[in-house]
Amino acid sequence: MAYLAGQPVLILKEGTSRSRGRDAQRSNMAAAKIIAELVKSTLGPRGMDKMLVDTLGDVTVTNDGAAILDEIEVQNPAAKMMVEVAKAQDKEVGDGTTTAVVLAGELLRRAEELLQDQIHATTIVAGYKSAADKALEILNQVAVPVDLNDKETLNKAALTSMRSKIIEGAREHLAKISIDAVDLVKEKRGDVFTADVDNIQLVKKQGKSVLDTQLVKGVIVDKEVVHPRMPKMVKSPNIALLDAALEIEKTEMSAEIRITDPTKMKMFLDQETQMMKKMVDKIKTSGTNVVLCQKGIDDMVQHFLAKEGIMAVRRIKQSDMEKLARATGGRVVTDLDDLKAEDLGHAGLAEERKFGEDKMVFIEGCKDPKAVGILIRAGLERLVDEAERGLKDSLHVVADLVKKNRLVAGGGAIEAELAKRLKEYAAKVGGREQLAIEAFAESLEFIPKTLAENAGLDPIDIMVTLRSSHEKPDGLWMGIDVFTGKPVNMMKSGVIEPTVVKEQAIKSAVEAASMILRIDDVIAAAKPPPTPMPKGGPEGMPPEM
């Protein structure tokens, strides 16, 4: 509301709330810090789990930062930005979500102290930007190159990503599956390799144990064979991938056919049957013995296919059809008239298998599959979900190393080294920006400090020892062993992470912190009034007497 010649002038809609200046900054930072505090206790091998119960009563037990923030319903706009940090981290590199959120929260906490010392927000943002650029430069200088054929190193990186998960006992088994799966789907584009994790299909089935999780060199179709008389197993199948309905399509226009002779009625019905028979003849002529169809298959077509001994599956998801084409080397055909022998895909086996009450078709034993499937097993539904989350992290970490084959040590080692070097850099910069760079360095140290706290160790003692070990000539990769409480060489201990995970965590955290810091005015629109309930209760029903 503004005042002009003593008359109030309404600028904003009635009911709109507004907070300005330091109050706006303080409330935004508080919300962001609460989100960081929420996931902080899940960081590291000794991190705790969260139990999340949604509005329907479904329970999720996890310590995966991305899963936690995806499940909770956040209302505050600044808190939503922190959730976006986790989503961006998860989408880009698939790991390090908790690190990114915790780092962003600590950057804001340090910024709040600087604001109280009368340092302007834009100066802090400039200092953070300068520190982030220097940190990324140092990160690439110290990162160690890795040979993609070195399965042992890849295995260590995969194991590190699952170290804090509930399924820790099956880490070795899942890590091997992750490495084999990524190795099969990786492709060379120009001079560089790339691996798209979307080409790895994850299918969950409750039952047995996590150690029964298996890699399928092909694709798992979560459907059953359409006709009971069709073969349930076909060796060395010739597979037709169809994106066309195997049924007589109804005309779009309304049409009326008048038949006066009963024999002509029979001819009309026989003609429809003949058309379906021709469809099956075309399929048989091409040499097909397994039909995988994205659309429907008519009952009569099913009968003729079963008669010819052809296995058929219908209504397969488009994403699975694309994976089937990549795995079998076949081509998805949209017109049955175009189906030729060279369009067919090939595999070692096509078989329907039963899991409890469910049936699934396995297309496996493909010669050079560029898409593979992983069947995830576990005794509990919650454990199946957590195994999937752990496997996703592991797959992404291996794929990250394929895209950029450089790694750094985990366990807080790289953060402690970056903090040490950034403090030296800050002294050279000088001025008020120096304070922001030092705050950034201290925020990085918060990661090893949190690892120590979550392990029940004294964070002050740990940080003193860790800083001291990084001053030594061979202290570059010294991190915290949360089980003994002593600094150890993390590179030698096999606790390693892809460089891109740390790069993305720093970038995401700085961007989020900078955006929240620069906000000095929050204008929230008035919420609409709740909709009144109709007379007679919900759905207009009469009230109970």
Q: Pairing between strand 238-242 and 332-333?
A: parallel
**520/505 Cα distance (integer angstroms):** 25
Owner of token pair 């199946």: 384
Length of the chain: 545
**218/221 Cα distance (integer angstroms):** 10
**388/210 Cα distance (integer angstroms):** 10
Residue 74 CB neighbours (<10 A) = 16
DSSP 55: T
**482/274 Cα distance (integer angstroms):** 73
**In whole angstroms, how far apart are CA 57 and each of 50, 51, 384?**
15, 11, 18
Please report the DSSP string for 256-309 in residue order.
-----SHHHHHHHHHHHHHHHHHHHHHHHHTT-SEEEESS-B-HHHHHHHHHTT
Reading the block at residue 98, the tokens are 């908790």
Owner of token pair 């964070």: 459
Residue at 176: amino acid letter? K
**537/135 Cα distance (integer angstroms):** 61
97, 99, 450, 499: the active-site residue: 97
90, 393, 400, 481: the active-site residue: 393
Q: Helices 97-116 and 499-517, interaxial angle, to 10°?
A: 40
**67/386 Cα distance (integer angstroms):** 10
64, 90, 385, 481: the active-site residue: 64
**118/98 Cα distance (integer angstroms):** 31
**371/207 Cα distance (integer angstroms):** 25
Residue 457 CB neighbours (<10 A) = 20
**463/468 Cα distance (integer angstroms):** 8
Q: Based on the residue annotation, tell me whether 98 is a catalytic residue of this protein.
A: yes
Q: Count each helix (H run) and each strand (E run) in the chain, helices first.
A: 16, 25
42, 60, 62, 98: the active-site residue: 98
**46/172 Cα distance (integer angstroms):** 18
Give kind and range of the element (H or E) at residue 204.
strand 200-206
Residue ranges of alpha helices (H) inside 344-496 are: 381-403, 413-429, 431-454, 459-470, 490-493
Where on the phi/psi map is residue 526: left (φ > 0), alpha (ψ -120 to 50), or beta? beta
Q: Based on the residue annotation, tell me whether 393 is a catalytic residue of this protein.
A: yes
Residues with a catalytic annotation lie at 64, 97-98, 393
